[in-house]
Amino acid sequence: MTNKHKTLGEFIIENQQSFQYSSGELARLINSIRLAAKVVNHEIRKAGLVDITGAAGEINVQGEAQQKLDVYANDIFKETLINREIVCGIASEEEDDFVIVEGSNKKNENNYVLMMDPLDGSSNIDVNVSVGTIFSIYRRLTPTGTPVTIDDFLQPGRNQVAAGYVAYGTSTMMVFTTGDGVNGFTLNPAIGTFYLSHPNMKIKETGKIYSISEGYYAHFGKGMQAYLNYCKEEEGDRPYTARYIGSLVADFHRNLLKGGIYIYPRSKTAPNGKLRLLYECNPMAFIAEQAGGKASDGFTRVMDIVPTELHQRIPFHTGSKQMVIKSEEFMAKYK
Distance (Å, rounded) from C-alpha 49 to C-alpha 322? 43
Q: How many CB atoms sit inside 10 A of residue 66's CB?
A: 15
Which parts of the chain fold into alpha helices (H)?
A: 8-15, 25-44, 50-53, 69-83, 222-232, 248-258, 282-290, 321-333
Give the one residue of 14, 48, 246, 299 binding ligand AHM; rule: CB under 6 A. Answer: 246
CB 182 within 8 A of CB 228: no
- For residue 122, the partner it binds in Mg ion, ligand AHM, none, with Cβ less than 5 to 8 A by kind, is ligand AHM
Give the nearest distance from C-beta 160 to ligand AHM in angstroms: 19
Q: Which residues have a Cβ under 8 Å from the Cβ of 256 and sit 6 or more positions away?
A: 175, 182, 201, 203, 287, 288, 291, 293, 319
Helix (H, G, I), strand (E, B) or coil at 56: coil
| Residue 311 is a binding residue for ligand AHM (CB under 6 A) | no
Is residue 76 packed enough to be buried (19+ CB in 10 Å), middle (13-18) or exposed (0-12)? Answer: buried
- Options 15-23, 42-50, 149-157, 246-254: segment touching ligand AHM (CB under 6 A): 246-254
| Residue 247 is a binding residue for ligand AHM (CB under 6 A) | yes
Distance (Å, rounded) from C-alpha 35 to C-alpha 13? 16
| Residue 117 is a binding residue for Mg ion (CB under 5 A) | yes
- For residue 213, the partner it binds in ligand AHM, Mg ion, none, with Cβ less than 5 to 8 A by kind, is ligand AHM
Give the one residue of 77, 92, 116, 120 binding ligand AHM; rule: CB under 6 A. Answer: 120
CB 161 within 8 A of CB 139: yes
Instruction: Select the residue whose beta carbon is closest to Mg ion and give its number.
Output: 120
Give the nearest distance from C-beta 276 to Mg ion in angstroms: 6
Q: Residue 92 or residue 122: which is nearer to ligand AHM going by CB?
A: 122
Binding mask 211-240 for ligand AHM (x = CB under 6 A): --x---------------------------
User: Could you tell me how many helices (H) and strands (E) the chain has, helices first?
Assistant: 8, 13
Give the one residue of 248, 256, 285, 305 binding ligand AHM; rule: CB under 6 A. Answer: 248
Partners of 174 in the β-ladder: 166, 185
| Residue 121 is a binding residue for ligand AHM (CB under 6 A) | yes
| Residue 120 is a binding residue for Mg ion (CB under 5 A) | yes
- For residue 48, the partner it binds in Mg ion, ligand AHM, none, with Cβ less than 5 to 8 A by kind, is none
Is residue 16 packed enough to be buried (19+ CB in 10 Å), middle (13-18) or exposed (0-12)? Answer: middle
Binding mask 137-166 for Mg ion (x = CB under 5 A): ------------------------------
**Footprint of ligand AHM on residues 255-284 (CB under 6 A)?**
264, 274
Give the nearest distance from C-beta 288 to ligand AHM in angstroms: 15
Q: How many CB atoms sit inside 10 A of residue 218's CB?
A: 8
- Residues near ligand AHM, by CB under 6 A: 93, 117, 120-122, 213, 246-248, 264, 274
